[in-house]
Amino acid sequence: TSTTVALNSQQASGEKMTSTESEAPVASPTSTALMGPTSPPPEADQFKTEANSAFNLGHYDQAIDLYSKAIDLYDKSAIYYANRSFAYLRTECFGYALSDASRAIALDQSYIKAYYRRASANMALGKFKLALTDFEQVHRRRPGDSDAKAKYTECKKIVQQKAFEKAIAYEEKRVSPCDEISQSLQSMTIEDSYDGPKLSEEGNKVTREFVTQLLDYYKKSKVLHRRYAYQILVDMKALLSAEATLVDVAVPEGTKFTICGDVHGQFFDLLNIFELNGLPSETNPYLFNGDFVDRGSFSVECIFTLFSLKLLYPKSFFLARGNHESEYMNKIYGFEGEVKAKYADKMVQLFREVFNLLPLVHLIDGRILVMHGGLFSSDDVTLEDIRKIDRNMDIPDSGPMSELLWSDPQDLPGRAPSKRGVAVQFGPDVTERFCKNNGLDYIVRSHEVKEKGYEVAHSGRCITVFSAPNYCDTMGNKGAYITLTGGKDLSPKFTSFDCVPHPTVRPMAYSSSLMQLFS
């Protein structure tokens, strides 16, 4: 999800941006980081000083705007680009951060902070080998810098670990974690002290009673028994294995159909959606459009609620994969840590297997295409091409699957490199051609925080819906959901809603220390 959430002191270790700090080049007073071919005009330096102040106050978007004004006046300063790169890192525009850091290095190869910024951006994008190269530069030139040494060492460990994992993957025949755990489910003891919901005695199936009891149990901050949690994951693997990459959804005439966007582990806001719009049922169908987990610290509660509903109503409750249903994102943004804290390391492997099987796209009545991210780097992608995507894998770095889960719309026509560093940004002309070529009325996507919880763009052809209000307890945005009524008129109707109170567990409470490597 794209956002300008500021990482708090427990989540990040970034230094403050001060005028003196940002003007200290590594080389000498004649470095182009300060001067370039000519000195920057006073107006440019004034914008930079104002940007530094905005940065220190956590106003990162304002800082980016001010650094951009400085660059417009004088584009030869490595400092300006490196500082803007830092602000982009804080707003998680990792693609832009990478570009600015590279530009700073091109202007002044001795400017150490630019290497630091580029390494951080590559770390955030999971490009560990490239990050290691830059961290190595920083560590070699600043051997006494304990922070640089720590990040270099940690990054090196990750590269070595990944190389080891890749090596043993060729030697071991992969065993399905779900299949493996299913053989030991019956031997898992249900302790007498357990007072929570139980699957049906006949077949260990999810029932309506189980779901309602589960919601009440979660409201009391209790944890579903591990035997039932594992059973749900095993059953989800079997169910999703039979589903298509592109799921066709028929909405009978006069029937309401609800589309929700990102919920990101905000369980109590998820409950509020059901309060406002009714619990899912065969006559009250829903589609949740990815990013069920991460950031919010009740992701386990969200995912088992949604999975239980999918098992209960497989033909009227739909789940799509988001970019956060992936191994690396879960490792960084909290879901993996939360699963390990509430259950065990083993369960993380089952989630990875199940997430890889989630459908990517839903086609409503042949007229509305719903995906988490957006459209493609090429105009020639068709619905049939999407149907043929082999989705049973972690999300790749590029290609149609990655673009479906990572792309974003833009106001300008054409395409542009993504601010995120993954997939593309696509303009209104791209959306118009895609809809026309595939016989669609419009597309619905999620993936981005919106002030009202939704946004209508591209002349009504591209709609964003985001269902996590006051995202990360900081954004102040509303959440929203879309309702459609089956029939000739499939016009979207939007309902915005505010956040509700939740137990005092901060967002990102389970996030990885790896976040410090790109903060």
Positions marked active-site: 324
**Residue-by-residue DSSP string for 327-366:** HHHHHHHSHHHHHHHHS-HHHHHHHHHHHTTS-SEEEETT
Note whether 110 and 78 are within 8 A (CB). no
Residue matched to tokens 């109503």: 313
Given a contact cutoff of 8 angstroms between Cβ atoms, the answer to whether 370 and 444 are in contact is yes
Instruction: Specify the pairing of strand 286-288 against strand 256-260.
Output: parallel
Cβ atoms of 439 and 382 within 8 Å: the answer is no
Distance between CA 125 and CA 99 in Å, rounded? 13
Residue 379 phi/psi, 5° resolution? -80, -10
Phi, psi of 156 (to 5 degrees): -60, -40
Q: Which helix (H) or strand (E) holds 444?
A: strand 442-445
In sign, the C-alpha dihedral spanning 37, 39, 44, 49 is positive
Residue of 415, 493, 414, 398 whose CA lies nearest to 453: 493
Tell how strand 415-417 and strand 424-426 pair up: antiparallel
> Could you give the CA distance from residue 455 to residue 462 in angstroms, rounded to a whole number?
8
